[in-house]
């Protein structure tokens, strides 16, 4: 069974600094999809970024980028120029197909400090 591990339960970062959240996963599949979701306090879970395993290029979305290391089964999220609004729980998730449910990590609580 696939598993997703987030080894940092909590992190903090100063406003305007850069922070990296770690995620590792385990699968025997060659093609799959990885996601980072963000859940702000008392607010809805939203997609931050996704990566398709067959794509070599790391995905980026504005201040958010990933470092996808397929051989190491690692998928870290980098947040540049951190803002107070980035304070949230961040979940890493995996699926091997469009019709297989996501497997989530346990989450990393990120606090951005002014």
Which residues fall within 8 angstroms of residue 99, CB to CB, at 6 or more apart? none
Q: Measured from the CB of residue 41, what is the shortest distance to another protein in angstroms?
A: 12
Q: Which is nearer to another protein, 79 or 105 (CB)?
A: 105
User: Whole-angstrom Cα distance, residue 51 to residue 72?
Assistant: 15
C-alpha triplet 61, 111, 52: angle, nearest 5°: 30
- Show the binding pattern over residues 95-114: x = contacts another protein (CB under 8 A), - = does not: x-xxx-xx-xxxx-------
Q: Torsion-angle region of residue 73: left (phi > 0), alpha (psi -120 to 50) or beta? A: left
Residues in the interface with another protein (CB under 8 A) total 22
Residues between 40 and 99 that touch another protein (CB under 8 A):
43-47, 50, 91, 95, 97-99
- Rg over alpha carbons for the chain, rounded to the nearest Å, is 14
Q: Which C-beta is closer to another protein: that of 28 or that of 99?
A: 99
**Contact positions vs another protein (CB under 8 A):** 6, 9, 33, 35, 37, 43-47, 50, 91, 95, 97-99, 101-102, 104-107
């Amino acid at each position: 069974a696939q598993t997703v591990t987030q080894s940092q339960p909590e992190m903090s970062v100063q406003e305007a600094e850069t922070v990296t959240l770690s995620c590792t996963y385990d699968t025997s599949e060659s093609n799959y999809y990885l996601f980072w979701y963000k859940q702000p306090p008392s607010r809805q879970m939203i997609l931050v970024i996704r990566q398709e395993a067959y794509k070599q290029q790391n995905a980026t979305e504005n201040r958010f980028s990933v470092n996808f290391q397929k051989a190491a089964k690692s998928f870290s999220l980098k947040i540049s120029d951190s803002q107070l609004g980035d304070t949230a729980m961040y979940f890493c998730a995996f699926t091997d197909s469009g019709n297989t449910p996501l497997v989530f990590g346990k989450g990393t609580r990120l606090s951005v400090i002014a």
